[in-house]
């Protein structure tokens, strides 16, 4: 049964070599275009333009994110310095006899 199916498939199989020989170079060019291995020059230029535009957009976005990360680092340092200043002021006021939380006196 399997042998008979294989024989039928072999009889009905397209003759690829014969088709290529019949169509020659134009057939090969069409086949390569259909497979996407060969593209027309305008399409290729458009793909290159798109590639360059996306690359530029990626680089600008990467730089913007780096600037945002740098701003967060600076803000974190500033906040840390403000907290340390507040702790120092609280400690100093406590040593001078002033309550650090005036609302707690009542």
Domain locations in the chain as residue ranges: 1-38, 40-106
The predicted-structure confidence for 10-28, as pLDDT tens digits, reads as follows 667 677 777 767 878 888 8
Report yes or no on whether pTM surpasses 0.75.
no
* Predicted confidence (pLDDT) at residue 106 exceeds the cutoff of 60: no
The predicted-structure confidence for 34-87, as pLDDT tens digits, reads as follows 888 888 899 999 999 999 999 999 999 999 999 999 999 999 999 999 999 999
CA distances in angstroms from 52 to 15, 57, 62, 63, listed in the order given: 43, 9, 15, 17
Helices then strands (H, E): number in the chain?
3, 0
The predicted-structure confidence for 3-12, as pLDDT tens digits, reads as follows 676 666 666 7
């Amino acid at each position: 049964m399997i042998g008979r199916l294989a024989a039928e498939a072999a009889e009905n199989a397209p003759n690829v070599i014969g088709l290529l020989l019949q169509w020659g170079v134009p057939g090969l060019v069409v086949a390569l275009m259909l497979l996407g291995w060969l593209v027309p020059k305008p399409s290729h230029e458009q793909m290159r333009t798109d590639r360059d535009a996306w690359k530029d957009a990626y680089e600008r976005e990467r730089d913007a994110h780096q600037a945002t990360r740098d701003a967060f680092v600076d803000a974190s340092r500033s906040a840390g310095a403000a907290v340390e200043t507040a702790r120092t002021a609280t400690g100093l006021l406590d040593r001078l006899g002033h309550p650090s939380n005036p609302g707690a006196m009542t």
